[in-house]
């Protein structure tokens, strides 16, 4: 069974867990602390950032999007990959926008005390401006493609959820993108989120392995 090194609150690790869940694959999950990374993780992935997936054949996948693709190429019960293939260029453009400029402003909004001479509210508003691109793509069913979640939804919703959590009251009352609020709310109320955000004890060598997802 593949081994997934994860950290519950990391949006990129959440991507990987969502992919495992929606692809109906199973893996061993090892919850880690970023402040105290296990030797086993550092040995297979010197960058030692989550998520990292160790496959049964010894191959290591170190990027969240690559883990997503591996999961859905292995098993795709919700037919995510046909839409991904059809709209690949647009999907990659949006993911790059969220992983790039949006994440840049999000970090300076969420962790403003770490950045000297950075204005928290200014960065919040710049991140909000980036979301115009997403707002215009959400349909009346509160999804980006058709009436269900897609590869793109799973890839970017964890970061937008993190943006919402910085100041939930502002997001719900003053953030101008109404479609994004409804789209995110669908995600927040989904069974999938409850499963992927389940708390597991921090893993250490010798512990009994924990299978994920725990349904």
Measured between its terminal Cα atoms, the distance across the chain in Å is 17
Same fold, 3-78+194-212 and 80-191: no
pLDDT band per the 50, 70, 90 thresholds, residue 214: confident
Confidence of residue 213 (pLDDT cuts 50, 70, 90): very high
The angle formed by the CA atoms of residues 61, 37 and 204, to the nearest 5 degrees, is 95
The whole-angstrom separation of Cα 183 and Cα 120 is 25
Q: Where are the domains of the chain?
A: 3-78+194-212, 80-191
Q: Give the model confidence (pLDDT) of 87-115 as tens digits.
A: 999 999 999 999 999 999 999 999 999 99
135's enclosing H/E stretch is helix 132-135
- Of 213, 182, 215, 200, whose CA–CA distance to 32 is shortest? 200
Topology classification of domain 80-191: Glutathione S-transferase Yfyf (Class Pi); Chain A, domain 2 (1.20.1050)
CATH code of domain 3-78+194-212 = 3.40.30.10
In sequence order, which residues have a C-beta less than 8 Å from that of residue 215 and are 6 or more positions away?
195
Radius of gyration in angstroms for the set of CA atoms belonging to the chain, rounded to a whole number: 17
Q: What is the pLDDT of residue 215?
A: 65
pTM for the model: 0.95
Q: Which residue has the tokens 């990659």?
A: 92
Neighbours of 95 (CB within 10 A): 17
User: Which CA distances in Å does 55 have to 3, 15, 27, 60, 62?
Assistant: 7, 17, 9, 6, 11
């Amino acid at each position: 069974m593949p081994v997934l090194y994860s950290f519950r609150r990391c949006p990129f690790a959440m991507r990987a867990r969502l992919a495992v869940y929606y692809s109906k694959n199973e893996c061993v999950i090892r919850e880690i602390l970023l402040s105290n990374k296990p030797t086993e993780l550092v040995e297979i992935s010197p960058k030692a950032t989550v998520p990292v997936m160790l496959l049964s054949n010894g191959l290591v996948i170190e990027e969240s999007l690559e883990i997503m693709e591996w999961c859905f190429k292995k098993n795709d019960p919700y037919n995510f990959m046909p839409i991904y293939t059809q709209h690949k260029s647009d999907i990659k453009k949006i993911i790059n926008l969220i992983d790039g400029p949006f994440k840049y402003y999000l970090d300076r909004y969420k962790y403003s005390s770490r950045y000297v001479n950075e204005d928290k509210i200014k960065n919040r508003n710049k991140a909000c401006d980036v979301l115009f691109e997403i707002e215009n793509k959400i349909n009346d069913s509160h999804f980006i493609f058709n009436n269900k979640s897609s590869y793109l939804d799973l890839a970017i919703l964890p970061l937008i959820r993190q943006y919402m959590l910085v100041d939930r009251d502002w997001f719900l009352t003053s953030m101008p993108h109404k479609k994004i609020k409804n789209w995110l709310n669908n995600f927040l109320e989904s069974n999938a989120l409850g499963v992927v955000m389940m708390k597991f004890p921090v893993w250490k060598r010798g512990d009994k392995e924990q299978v994920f997802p725990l349904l």
